[in-house]
Structure 1
Amino acid sequence: MSELIPPLASDGQILAEVNGCLGLITLNRPQALNALSLGMVRDMTTLLRHWAASPEIEAVAVIGAGREGKPAAFCAGGDIRFLHQAAHAGDPALDDFFTEEYRLNHLIHNYPKPYVALMDGIVMGGGMGISQGSRLRVLSERSVLAMPETAIGLFPDVGGGWFLAQCPGHVGEWLALTGHQAAAADALEWGLGDVYVCSENWPALIDELRRGAQPSAEHVVATVMQRSDLAPLSDGADLLAAINRHFSQPTLAAVLASLAAAEDTWARQTHAALLKRSPLMMAVTLELVRRGRQLSLADDLRLERDLVHHAFHLRGAARSETVEGIRALAVDKDHAPRWQPASVAEVDPAEVASFFVSPWPAQAHPLRDLA
């Protein structure tokens, strides 16, 4: 079996196993909630390409390592402290991270064999990027799904502009702007998951995938499906009318005004949450999701690569909303980001538009070959 597991370089942050026809990837950075490092992105890419070309492998499953007595986490996103350090240092690994992560996301969405994401616990940001393209997205009652990037002055990337745009009505705009944490029932309702397995059945499921007979891709899928159950009822349908009323407004200012004029608790809480986000990056985010409805995944990822370049480089690290947002959340931890501008009314439409101008000619784009 050794020829089926190529050399890996992330110092154990990615573990690989083969059981019958199944290639199993474990995200093994539990102390960081399995947040993705550049090495992890590279190792996942190496494994997936190798297994795509190996006839012996018919399916792939991805899980997150856990910590005894701690809440489950599939993957909490990217390594944002690394992004902060790299931005200040002018480290080219910053650009490599996003280019290679987005390539990995595209590979997963277009993977030629069944790819199963076992999304137990926290699934945020980069964790959504390596799971939303799965053939089978498996959730439990512990699953918490979110794209919380506006809280750090970024936008929902890793294909978020595309997959959030596929949600019903204007749920995509709401999830993208607020970073709302969706439970399993709502995620299934909105098309962000496929199968529900109660957490009490996860140990047996993982053990069967690791050690049970797995002679075919169909058997791998059946192993999951025989433990599936009805998910708890979602209240997402009840929220849809309110979400559509407010988040269908034509501009970010109009969304906020609509929420401010409503008198219900949900609208007040949603309005308060948005007032804490980067006004500039919320405007960029709203435009991204609305463009995403007309884009292919590949074109969306190319656009996101443009946007993330500008997020770190348009103003320089000293004035980047993203660098400031990460500082406030994860470096100084004062939870008091100094957004520039500080209010939606001060956002310059010309600056928002500049994010959507690619810094590369089409033939030189780092993701130019994505199909």
Structure 2
Amino acid sequence: MKKILLVIVISSQLFFMSGCWGAKEIQNQSYVTGVGIDYVKGNFIVYIQALNFSNIAKQEGTSSLQQSSPSLVGEAKGKTIQAALSKLEQKVPLPLYYGHVKTILLSENVIKKQMNSVIEYIGQNPLLRYNCWFFGTKHDIKKILRGESFFNYPSLYTIIYNPKDLINNNFFIPIEKYNKFISTYYQPVGTQIIPSVEMNKSYFSEDEKKKNITAITGGFVISQQQYKGWVNKEKLVGLKWFSKQATTIPLSLFNEKVSVIVQKPKRMIKVVNGYKPAYHLIIKANAVLVQNEKDININKIKKELEKKIKSELLKTIGESAEIKADLLNLSEKTYRYHLKKWDVSTINSSDKRSIEQIKVKIHIEQNINYKR
């Protein structure tokens, strides 16, 4: 009897281990990696970019330099975002799977008029994760999704899918994931910036063919759930001095004859008491001198570097006044730690005259060491 029971137990285990019922083969689904959303004349136009992961897997090794991976872009129109997607889902030969969406790309019209619809859609779709990247564009979404990468790598290696290395090595403006955006969207103070992208053929080519590369151009500014406008990245240069993400900041001085790298700057915002809050901004950092073509005196370089950092902060502060938005998010600290002193309307009434002092102190740590 014991032997019979043992045979039954072993047989049942083999039965359940024989396979996963209902499991889908990887090549039998279209994996959506990016969703683009536009809004024109009362209709949403939704774009999806999908990849087949079995094709990406084949690109390991030298073959990735010879044959590009196909990328599928779909487009449909509807009165709601989901209605447009449903039309696409009804036409595809392979089911669409949204669990691997890495990027959401919005048009300027959507950012201006339909952010609540986007937030509602993301919140209701169980497969869309909150850790996807968030971008905007003034240009054709379909062209952005078809942007090229280097060496025939798939679009997963473009900036809209993989901006992390750019943030770490050459910070332009904050590139945030959706969870960071939504965590501050309903705050009564501060701003959110959605990075804007466009295509650029000016800098790279392969075999004399210009590469259509996606590039950061600026940001769409939102404050208190209201669209404030688009700002060129040249006017957002001061953001890096108060971003924890910016740990290595290259700068050029004296008509690019001198190059330095500012490392791990320490930032401080001091809130000063008054009838409304005022601010002292303090930047301290070490810098490495990597080029000094004219052998300029170190003290002169130090003064020029401090002057440049201060001018970058003033440029962004001036733009804050222009569009009536707190681009440096100075009010956020006041709101979090000093709400008993001032109410929200007083905190938001601060302007560029509220910046009482900007103090920059840089120590140039070492001079150029030539290889021997």
* Shorter-chain TM-score above 0.5: no
Q: TM-score scaled to structure 2, two decimals?
A: 0.26
The answer to which structure, 1 or 2, has the higher relative contact order (CA under 8 A, 6+ apart) is 1
Higher helix share: 1
Q: TM-score under structure 1 normalisation?
A: 0.26
Q: Which has the larger radius of gyration?
A: 2
